[in-house]
Structures are given as structure tokens and as C-alpha cells.
Structure 1
Amino acid sequence: MFLLETKSLSKEFSRGGRKFRAVDGINFTLNKNEMVHIIGRSGSGKTTFLNLLSGILNPTSGEVLVEGKNLESMDDEQRSLYRNSFIGYVPQSLGTLPNLTVLDNVRMPHYLFKRDGDGIERASMLLDWMGILSLKDEFPNKLSGGEIKRVLLARALMNSPKVIIADEPTSDLDFDTTKEIMNLFSKINKESISLIIVTHEIDILKYGNRVLVMNDGKLSER
């Protein structure tokens, strides 16, 4: 059984009174321990596809299967729990909450569903794993771009997801910082967590198992 699977997945939008398919009949599978890269020019449908996988958007047609269960068959609470626990999302934008410390940004997902404890121990462990535990009491505006990415990675891992979805996680980073972030992704992958990474950067493709190309809403093997 696949961790994630899509069958003939499509999403239509309207623009200027005309319909177009941002995602067009995609069949996709993700296995345990895979690191999959998705490349494609801007506007090709990559982010829409990620939003369908994460349950933020509903498909116009087709299915998203989570360990064999259709995502659309889940009620609102089940879908929210899926987004909170099964997947960890690393957004393209900076995505931290400016009024929370680094530690509180990381442990925030812990509170979206009723759980025991305060999450401080796990959040601290993840920050230590990311090499930024010393920054736990700082606010995001004091951090560099690379440090912010580490905070977002730690937050995505807070509830022990099976899949990490990352949208352009190395954009606007220099070469050395990009290498450090990708080494962290490889480290995460070795912990039996699967990854889907959207990128424009050819240099990071060597870190993955598969490269898929998105073009006009269609996804194909590179």
C-alpha cells in the first residue's frame, strides 16, 4: 500500500469566464522512505498539486488516497488531523508567526489537537537536531533565512509525520546554506519519513530517489 496515491487527479479553475485545468489527470504514488522532487516552470501546477495532496484543496475529479483511504471520504476533523499529523508542510514563504519565539513556533502544531504535555521537550529536541537550540528564545525577525528554514523543518516534524511536503524549501538561500538544508532533508529521510520537494534548483535533485516534471498540469517521470 502506498503512503499517498492519486488517481486521475484534476483541479479546474475559472479565469475570465474560461475554465482551465491547473492539475490535469495526474496518477502519482509515494512509497515509504522515498524522496521525490517535482520540477517545472512557474504556473505549471506544482503548488496546486501540493495543496490537493495536503487536503487544502478539493479535486474537481479524481482521488487522493492516504494509505488507501480516499481523502474526500474524511470528515473535517479527520482531514484536519491528517494535515496536522500525517503530513508536515514546509511552505514556500517564511511562514513563521512573528509574535512567537522560535520554540513556540515549533511546538504550535502540538496544540491544534488535544494532546498530553506541552510539547517543549520534543520541540527542544528537534531544534537541537536542527542545530539551532541556542535560538529557542529568539523571535523570527532575528533569524537568517537558513535559520528560518530550520525552524520550519522542526515545526513540520513536531507531530511525527509520515510525509514531509516542501514547496521551494531552498529558494533565496546561498549555496552553502542550501547544501546544509538538503543534508537535513536527507537526515530526515533516513528516519523513514518520505519527502515531496518542489524545486526550481537542478543542483539539489541528486538528493532524491525520483524526479518528476510538471508541465501544463500534467506530471511525468523525468
Structure 2
Amino acid sequence: MTESMIRAIGLTKTFVNGPVETKVLKGIDLEIQRGEFVAIVGPSGSGKSTLIGLLAGLDSVTSGQIFLSGIDISNLDENKLTKIRGELIGYIFQTFNLINTMTAIENVEVPLILNGKTSGSRKRARELLEAVGLEDRLHYLPGQLSGGQQQRVAVARALACDPPIIIADEPTGNLDSAAGEQVMNLLEKTVRETEKTLIVVTHDLEHAKRADRVLKIKDGKIEMEVSDGAVF
């Protein structure tokens, strides 16, 4: 029996700037199962990043509901939302979002410390960096690492608290093709071996082919869905 990890019902998002209202998402319904790898594609401005930001609890919905592992997060207060997000979501940003004054191992430790998992945090961070091939870069600052290495640190950080859901916003967007392939290999290996749910926003259809399902977003709606390595 499959287990629903993410469910969105009638999801809308409108941004208001003075008298101007911009409807970015216009009624999104979707369900993603445990262990499923879903890629989201679509033109710039179609609402892809807004959608995953809502699914991750990084922004509030205008209307509709979002369930993470059966919990309705749509109207939670910030404290409860932060707690659930810390337990369920590992988020990977296109721009890495590492803390520039902290070493690689310290960056990976941050979510562990914030979630009260201080016992063994250094050992866990070390093991994750070894798993992403950075055992010789533990004490390097982000500025001393290549883009691909920084993104691997970001992947390790996202995995630190062992969340069941990994969400990645254009994780290869700032990388060359070789580094991008390495990061995607790492993400896919993780989801296949641990049954984590993986959602990746990407412009690269070759990366999207890896997914179990591909959703195409256009004008704030899911325009099309394909599976089994098909492309649009």
C-alpha cells in the first residue's frame, strides 16, 4: 500500500503589490507518494518555484490545502510549521544558501543543531560529507569550494535530519554539465536507496527523464503529466 507524503488540494497563490494582484498558481491538485521521484518543468514564470515553496511550507497559500505526511500545514502558526518543516523537509536551493563564514561540516551541522539533535551532530555531518565525496573538504569555507562542491554540501545539509521529503529548486541551475550530473546522480541514488520522496524543479529535460513522473506547469496550472522516462 502506497503512502501519500504530499497532497495539495485547490492550491492558489496570489501576490499583491499595491493595487496589482498577480495570480501565480491557479488551482493545483496533486499527490506524491513515499519513495516517488517527481520532476517539475515549465517555462520561467510559470509558478514552479512558487509551488515547491508552498509545498515546503516556506510561504503561505492564498487558498487551498497542503498535507505533509497527512498533516494539514495550510493554516499552522509559524512555530508549529517550523517544527514540522524541520522534521519532514530537506530543501535544496539553486544558489546553495550556505553560510559563508562556516565550514562545510559546520554548515551540515546547522539543521541538526536547530532541531535539537546536538548529540553526535559532528559525526553525522562528517558521514554525510563523506557520502557525497567531500571527505577531504570538511573544513573548507564555501568560498574555497567549487559550485559543484557547494551544492554537494547543500545536499548533505538537506539530508542531515533524515527527512522523508527532499525538495530541490533547480539544483543544477548554477553548475556545469559534469557537476550537475554528479548532483543528480547523488539525489537519485539517495531516493532510490532510502525511499525518500524527491521533488526536483528543473529546466533540463534530461534530468527530468530520471523521474517517476514529470509535471509540466504552465500559467499556474498543471498542463500535462507523463511518466516512465517520457518527455514533453
Q: Where on the TM-score scale, by shorter chain, does this alignment land: which range?
A: over 0.9
Shift of 1:78: 2.1
Check if 1:203 corresponds to 2:202: no
AA of the residue aligned to 1:55 = G
In the TM superposition, 1:71-90 aligns within 5 A as 71-90=73-92
| Cα-to-partner distance string for 1:74-117 (whole Å, 9 max, x where unaligned) | 33322111221201000121211010000000110011132341
Q: 2:215 aligns with which of 205, 212, 215?
A: 212
Question: How many Å apart are 1:177 and its aligned residue?
Answer: 1.6
In 2, Cα distance between equivalents of 1:24 and 1:184: 33
Using the size of structure 1 for normalisation, the TM-score is 0.95
- Of the candidates 99, 110, 113, which is equivalent to residue 112 of structure 2? 110
Tell me the equivalent position of 2:6.
4
- Among 68, 71, 87, the alignment partner of 1:69 is 71
How far did residue 30 of structure 1 move?
Answer: 0.9
Structure 2 unaligned blocks of 5 or more? 227-232
In structure 1, what is the equivalent of residue 46 of structure 2? 44
Name stretches of at least 5 consecutive residues in structure 1 with no aligned partner: none
- TM-score in terms of structure 2 length: 0.91
Question: For 2:97 and 2:121, how far apart are their aligned partners in 1?
Answer: 20
CA RMSD of aligned residues (A): 1.4
Residue identity in the other structure for 2:154: L
Query: Residue in 1 aligned with 2:34?
Result: 32
User: Match of 2:70, as an amino acid?
Assistant: G
CA-CA distance at 1:207 after TM superposition: 1.3
Which residue is equivalent to 2:184?
Answer: 182
> What is the CA distance between 1:219 and its match in structure 2?
1.6
Instruction: Look up the equivalent residue of 1:214 and give its one-letter code.
Output: I
| Post-superposition offset of 1:15 | 4.1
Task: Work out the CA distance in 2 between the residues paired with 1:19 and 1:206.
Answer: 35
Q: Percent identity?
A: 35
CA distance in 2 between partners of 1:172 and 1:57 (Å): 24
SS in 2 for 1:114: coil
Q: Are 2:10 and 2:29, in contact at CA under 8 Å, matched by a contact in 1?
A: yes
SS of residue paired to 2:198:
strand
What secondary structure, in the 3-state scheme, does the structure 2 residue paired with 1:207 have? coil
Look up the match of 1:54: 56
Kept in 1: contact 2:12–2:26 (CA 8 A): yes
User: 1:16 Cα deviation (Å)?
Assistant: 5.9
Provide the residue aligned with 1:19 in structure 2: 21
Instruction: Give distance in 2, aligned partners of 1:59 and 1:135.
Output: 39
